[in-house]
Amino acid sequence: MKEIQIGLIGFGTVGSGLAEVLLDQQQRLRKRTGLSIRLAKVADLRISELPSRFADVTLTRDANELFNDPNIDIIVELIGGIQPAKTFLLKAIAAGKHVITANKALISQEGWDIFAAAAAKGVEVGFEASVGGGIPVIKALKEGLVANRILSIMGIMNGTANYILTRMTDEGVPFAEVLKDAQAHGYAEADPTYDIEGIDTAHKLAILMTMSYGMRISLSDITTEGITRIEPIDIQFAREFGYRIKLLAISRNHGDHVEARVHPTMVPEDHLLASISGAFNAIHFTGDAVGNVLFYGQGAGKMPTGSAVAADVVDIARNIQAGSINRVPALSYLPEQIAGRRITPLEEVTCPYYFRITARDEPGVLAGIAGILSKHGISIESVLQKGRKESGPVSIVMRTHTAREASVRKALAEIDAMGSVTSETVKIRILGDEV
């Protein structure tokens, strides 16, 4: 039986998860592949020894030992960050090794160099775990949905943000309090910026857009807004209107241009994405042939992500055995077919909106606001006014029909300049029927 040897860089949470999956499923993988897939070497600076169950695995502090080992077929990078991860992958490729990573920041920002080097060397790049944790969404795009023109991508792609919003919704707890608790329980990093500001989600959307549309896209092309301004009062009003607030990645394919945005969104309670709670992820595609498809599961964690990395290991091992390297292009499209495409300016995006305007309870305020909205072609669907007092500000909450972002910005600038309006208006986009 042919043996495929694996070299692993990084024995942290995901790295140890991969090691456990490969060991625990060794016999099953033999039955499914006809191969012996074995973790042979681990490179890690932070540990002095591996757990006893990995006694036949060599531990080193020098990743170069993996690149220089002629017996290692596949190298897996699970240290995260841009450097030295990129350097390690390029060294592995130069040594003729197939490579696998779960590094969404690296793939979305520096992936072109890695894919080009791999193509020139005739080796494969696996990155299933870079999007959706244990959800097999990359495989689905490359193979299961290959005969579809992807019309839209939409999803909850960050478990930390979804956990925070779920707690705020279910318990009415303020953002700062939930974040602190999430950090204490390991659901959020000490520096949660990437998660709560939508950057992690944008990395994943960039990867999915490249694979769905065959386009080059950079992080700067994606409009990104986080969840830090969401307050319990907005979640309460959303519920009264029949919505739940989620941090969504949204892309719509208009043919000659595509939307690319990440922001808090009010999702109708009867929509499948509204029910995704806690640290779970869900990714929704619309294809011209298949219609709507939803992928749901654990978007992070030791064993789910380890499972996704192991799937790449098995896929490449099978290709080695069959002599069919790069049978399926890494990014679904042939490299020469991947080109630029215009990104829809956010100002051109249309959708319904939620506004929370804080103003003094004075005669004519609501009429003045309605007049400004009408002037800019924004139609009001419903209005709520809460917190009526003899003195002090009240919340005027509005839900609009579909409006253009540029018009909304102009209207809110005028509304916020009114003498009776006491603070900046809160604006949240609503998921419309068109997505």
Residue 134 token pair? 């244990």
| 3-state SS track over the chain | CCEEEEEEECCCHHHHHHHHHHHHCHHHHHHHHCCEEEEEEEECCCCCCCCHHHCCCEEECCCHHHHCCCCEEEEEECCCCCCCHHHHHHHHHHCCCEEEECCHHHHHHHHHHHHHHHHHHCCCEECHHHCCCCCCHHHHHHHHCCCCCEEEEEEECCHHHHHHHHHHHHHCCCHHHHHHHHHHCCCCCCCCHHHHCCHHHHHHHHHHHHHHHCECCCHHHCEECCCCCCCHHHHHHHHHHCEEEEEEEEEEECCCEECCEEEEEEEECCCHHHHCCCCEEEEEEEECCCEEEEEEEECCCHHHHHHHHHHHHHHHHHHHHHCCCCCCCCCCCCHHHCECCEECCHHHCEECEEEEEEEECCCCHHHHHHHHHHHCCCCEEEEEEECCCCCCEEEEEEEECCEEHHHHHHHHHHHHCCCCECCCCEEEEECCCCC
Residue 61 token pair? 């502090």
The residues near 147 (Cβ < 8 Å, ≥ 6 apart) are 289
Backbone angles phi and psi of 121, in degrees to 5: -90, -10
Backbone angles phi and psi of 228, in degrees to 5: -65, -25
Which residue, chain included where needed, has tokens 């499948």? 272
Beta strands at 223-224 and 36-43: parallel, antiparallel or unpaired: unpaired
- Active-site annotation holder among 104, 204, 246, 427: 204
Active site residue 204: yes
Active site residues: 204
